[in-house]
Amino acid sequence: MKIKFFDIPEEGLDFDFEAGKEPWLDQLFREVYQEDYVNTQGHVGINILKTCQNISIVGNTEVELEPVCDRCLEKFIKKSSSPIKLTMLPHKSMSFDDVGPNDDPGDDDDSISYYKTEELDLDDILKESLYLNIPIRDLCKEDCKGLCPQCGQNLNLKTCACKTEKIDPRLAALKNIKLK
């Protein structure tokens, strides 16, 4: 979805999108979350405000996912929420009569970006926000016990009869030393 800079009114723009009703949003969620996005349940709410030549984008995305737990390998339902907060400044290549060339503010703030054209691509902004909020791992519950490394039993469902002697592999050679 593209928005022209000059089409943003003084009072701003509010958008409310529902997955399932907006095919482009379903496509975006599928692209970001891949096979974890199966229920087509999602919502995006965004406010876009223009102040002089700067654009402020604030909102939130909520999506229902069905990932696989990284410890026990079971599927579970998870609701994910990602905040969106971005300030866009004109790139120094943009020429506005009342604004001089824009220099880099000098910090590595992820919430500041630059636009080079008179159109904002809302898809790219949403994708970036969603990608940055993907967790390193998905757990079905915080205290997930995972799988037994010997037999593969899901330890959340029942305990197994495997011997659980834990020997540090670096010290295993010391077990064979006989003392006099």
Please write the tens of the pLDDT for every residue from 99-117. 444 444 444 455 777 777 7
Q: Is residue 12 a part of any domain in this protein?
A: yes
Q: Is residue 8 a part of any domain in this protein?
A: yes
Domain count for the chain:
1
- As a whole-number percent, the residues of the chain with pLDDT over 70 amount to 87
Which pLDDT tens digit goes with each residue over 13-43? 888 988 888 888 888 899 999 888 887 788 9
118: CB partners within 8 A, 6+ apart: 4, 5, 6
Of 41, 44, 82, the residue nearest 65 (C-alpha)? 41
In this prediction the pTM is: 0.70
Of 126, 29, 131, 133, the residue nearest 86 (C-alpha)? 126
Cα 59 to Cα 47: distance, rounded to the nearest angstrom: 6
The residue range of the domain holding 26 is 2-132
Q: Is residue 112 a part of any domain in this protein?
A: yes
User: Reduced to 3 states, what is the DSSP secondary structure of residue 116?
Assistant: coil
Please, what's the largest Cα pairwise distance for the chain?
A: 91
Of 85, 89, 73, the residue nearest 132 (C-alpha)? 85
Partners of 165 in the beta sheet?
none
Q: Is residue 62 a part of any domain in this protein?
A: yes
Other CB atoms within 10 A of residue 19 CB: 24
Cα 44 to Cα 130: distance, rounded to the nearest angstrom: 11
